[in-house]
Chain A
């Protein structure tokens, strides 16, 4: 059953009891009484499979702290089982906190995979990995590619399966920050963007709904073929140059969530990924140049 088959009130009611949500290989059990959480899920996860399952990878819950404090300054805690990894956030950041919390569950526990801090998209059977450097415009590019016919595999966490070295999709919403929210909104009338959370530790944050096709194909893995280090620079002409694999290795390893935890396996998986990938730098200022460049990569 798809989440869109529930009306918003039905979804709210299901969430108070606990809702099973499938994202890639993971089943989350979500519990929340927050209206904004239901609205966010309803807007952005409409195409995702929901259900009642016997086993969940992560039982997560968003809840107010007990006591009078909840009336003075509404705050919200994220829980995995009986453990709350973060400081509470203002209650109006609850949906953003759910997104971060789900990322935290995966990044901190799913060690069957090598987990890189990178976005990843696929076209023509080729996965393109975009490592996340602050200010590189990774999320903006990811959103634009997803809105231009590319299959969104993941925005924040690139999962590499230890069994076959393939990229495993999550297809969750793309997290957009500050100015990029309007860039994406203006780029395509098809962009569905959730309610913005303002003044978070990352500024204003809003999420882009993943394309229905990406969600429908979330069980389909993809072979990593390209690693692109993008750089947006005002007024720059589009320019691409080779990036050394040794450097890409160190970059991927030092930005991964569990490279060192996996020990020798981490080394082997990263090396095998680089064996299959062509690595490039890409500098640009115009979005149309960027789309053309990425089309050219997988042509």
Chain B
């Protein structure tokens, strides 16, 4: 099956090819990348390969705009993670950062130009209530007030209802497992937590080890039905796997072995098939379960279709950031809420000044 946007895939897998694209090719690629949340990635790749001057100016400006988003988000992620670390340090538990925020925190190749909608963390299941309480003390509030929603999340999911910071508007997903409680396969979050690497300069924040990060991202992609971010997530996995397999020879057998330990062989196998089909990833033959059954093959083909397309629904990557949501909802003229904050703080400083003068 030929991917629907092969020029976009070519740009992601062989960035120097971007210099050879015609304006007419770009006229298709840019909207596709924008819809898939991949403009920032293209911008980062073009910058890494010094291609800015080689691209038509308006094309570079479009890619640069995606990169601006991603870089601003990375700044916000670092800032929020510092706050989270301080908020949760007292619990004495390891807190794992997952997916997009983990790529950014760890400076991974998948961080380049990565746009994201929220921050995901994983904590030991027995600490979930303490974590929630500590977060609520530092300005995180549950975004689902409905009793049914609350019960749904708490009973059936592997996370508590998403929390939102009252000041920054950032969305936080707190997980205690990689898969819903109801999922057919079971994994071992305790092993992932035990193998995690502490982040420098942080008290309790960790990122999963490299294979675990890959396995989690693969599992997430295959189980959560977030197809609208599918191509972007697949491109993350491509970047992670290519960098890791280039770095050390033992990568592939170690990844397969770890997938066995965590009972995540099936999602890994599914993702590798998609990476080979859509991104042309060169992977050795691993001893992983093959799609033998007819049903599995159908799923595999449907996945290729779902993942290789791009989708209008994900074209606004900043959903977690109050700024952009407000911007769109208000038909663009009202002042974004978080910009009000410098204003309010300014008033506080001003008041101090007045008091000082009176004193």
A and B touch in the complex (CB under 8 A): yes
Check B335–A27 contact: CB distance below 8 A: no
* Residue A199 lies at the interface, judged by CB distance under 8 Å to chain B: no
CB-CB under 8 A for A261 and B31, given A55-B56, A109-B62, A201-B331: no
Shortest Cβ distance from B310 into A: residue:
A82
Check B339–A111 contact: CB distance below 8 A: no
Chain B residues positioned under 8 Å from A253 (CB to CB): 339, 342
**Pick the contact of A54 from B23, B333, B342 — CB < 8 Å?**
B23
Give the segment of A43-51, A63-71, A100-108 that binds chain B: A100-108
Check A57–B332 contact: CB distance below 8 A: no
User: How close is B178's CB to chain A, nearest CB, in angstroms?
Assistant: 32
CB-CB under 8 A for A55 and B26, given A254-B335, A255-B335: yes
Check A83–B323 contact: CB distance below 8 A: no
Check B315–A56 contact: CB distance below 8 A: no
**Pick the contact of A104 from B23, B27, B59, B332 — CB < 8 Å?**
B332
* Residue A110 lies at the interface, judged by CB distance under 8 Å to chain B: yes
**Pick the contact of B72 from A100, A250, A261 — CB < 8 Å?**
A261
Q: Report how far A110 CA is from B30 CA in the complex, Å.
A: 13
Chain A residues positioned under 8 Å from B26 (CB to CB): 55
**Pick the contact of B342 from A59, A108, A250 — CB < 8 Å?**
A250
Check A112–B332 contact: CB distance below 8 A: no
Check B312–A83 contact: CB distance below 8 A: yes
Q: Report how far A205 CA is from B252 CA in the complex, Å.
A: 63
Shortest Cβ distance from A117 into B: residue:
B333
CB-CB under 8 A for A108 and B327, given A55-B56, A250-B342: yes
Q: Report how far A107 CA is from B324 CA in the complex, Å.
A: 11
Q: Report how far A82 CA is from B314 CA in the complex, Å.
A: 11
Check B339–A54 contact: CB distance below 8 A: no
Q: Report how far A250 CA is from B341 CA in the complex, Å.
A: 11
* Residue B153 lies at the interface, judged by CB distance under 8 Å to chain A: no
Check A54–B331 contact: CB distance below 8 A: no
Q: Report how far A201 CA is from B336 CA in the complex, Å.
A: 19
* Residue B340 lies at the interface, judged by CB distance under 8 Å to chain A: yes
Q: How large is the interface on B (under 10, 10 to 19, 20 to 34, 35 or more residues)?
A: 35 or more
Chain B residues positioned under 8 Å from A108 (CB to CB): 324, 327-328, 332
User: How close is B33's CB to chain A, nearest CB, in angstroms?
Assistant: 11
Q: Report how far A81 CA is from B58 CA in the complex, Å.
A: 17
Give the segment of B63-71, B84-92, B261-269 that binds chain A: B63-71
Shortest Cβ distance from A258 into B: residue:
B68
**Pick the contact of A254 from B62, B69, B339 — CB < 8 Å?**
B339
Q: Report how far A109 CA is from B75 CA in the complex, Å.
A: 19
* Residue B307 lies at the interface, judged by CB distance under 8 Å to chain A: no
User: How close is A12's CB to chain B, nearest CB, in angstroms?
Assistant: 24
Check A112–B339 contact: CB distance below 8 A: no
* Residue A135 lies at the interface, judged by CB distance under 8 Å to chain B: no
Chain B residues positioned under 8 Å from A81 (CB to CB): 31, 34-35, 312, 315
User: How close is A25's CB to chain B, nearest CB, in angstroms?
Assistant: 7
Check B331–A111 contact: CB distance below 8 A: no
Check B61–A55 contact: CB distance below 8 A: no
Mark each residue of chain A from 69 to 97: 1 if its CB lies under 8 Å from any CB of chain B, else 0.
00000000000011101100000000000
CB-CB under 8 A for A55 and B332, given A109-B65, A254-B343: no
* Residue A272 lies at the interface, judged by CB distance under 8 Å to chain B: no
User: How close is B121's CB to chain A, nearest CB, in angstroms?
Assistant: 25
* Residue A281 lies at the interface, judged by CB distance under 8 Å to chain B: no
* Residue B22 lies at the interface, judged by CB distance under 8 Å to chain A: yes
**Pick the contact of A263 from B65, B75, B336, B339 — CB < 8 Å?**
B75
Mark each residue of chain B from 318 to 355: 1 if its CB lies under 8 Å from any CB of chain A, else 0.
00000110011001110110111011001000000000
* Residue A196 lies at the interface, judged by CB distance under 8 Å to chain B: no
**Pick the contact of A262 from B24, B62, B68, B336 — CB < 8 Å?**
B68
User: How close is A271's CB to chain B, nearest CB, in angstroms?
Assistant: 15
Shortest Cβ distance from B311 into A: residue:
A82
Residues facing A in B280-337 (CB within 8 A) are 312, 315-316, 323-324, 327-328, 331-333, 335-336
Check A110–B61 contact: CB distance below 8 A: yes
Q: Report how far A85 CA is from B328 CA in the complex, Å.
A: 7
Residue in A25, A54, A201, A253 with the greatest tally of chain B CB atoms within 10 Å: A54
Measuring CB to CB, which residues of chain B are less than 8 angstroms from any residue of chain A?
22-24, 26-27, 31, 34-35, 56, 58-59, 61-62, 64-65, 68-69, 71-72, 75, 312, 315-316, 323-324, 327-328, 331-333, 335-336, 338-340, 342-343, 346
* Contacts A/B (CB < 8 Å), 21 sampled: A54-B27, A55-B24, A57-B58, A57-B62, A59-B31, A81-B31, A81-B312, A83-B312, A83-B315, A100-B332, A110-B65, A111-B68, A111-B69, A250-B343, A250-B346, A254-B335, A254-B342, A257-B332, A259-B339, A260-B323, A261-B323
**New A-B pairs, 13, CB < 8 Å, besides A55-B23, A57-B61:** A25-B58, A82-B31, A85-B328, A104-B332, A111-B68, A112-B65, A250-B343, A250-B346, A257-B327, A257-B332, A260-B72, A260-B336, A263-B72
Instruction: Return the 5 tightest CB-CB contacts between A and B, nearest first.
Output: A82-B312, A54-B23, A55-B23, A111-B65, A112-B61
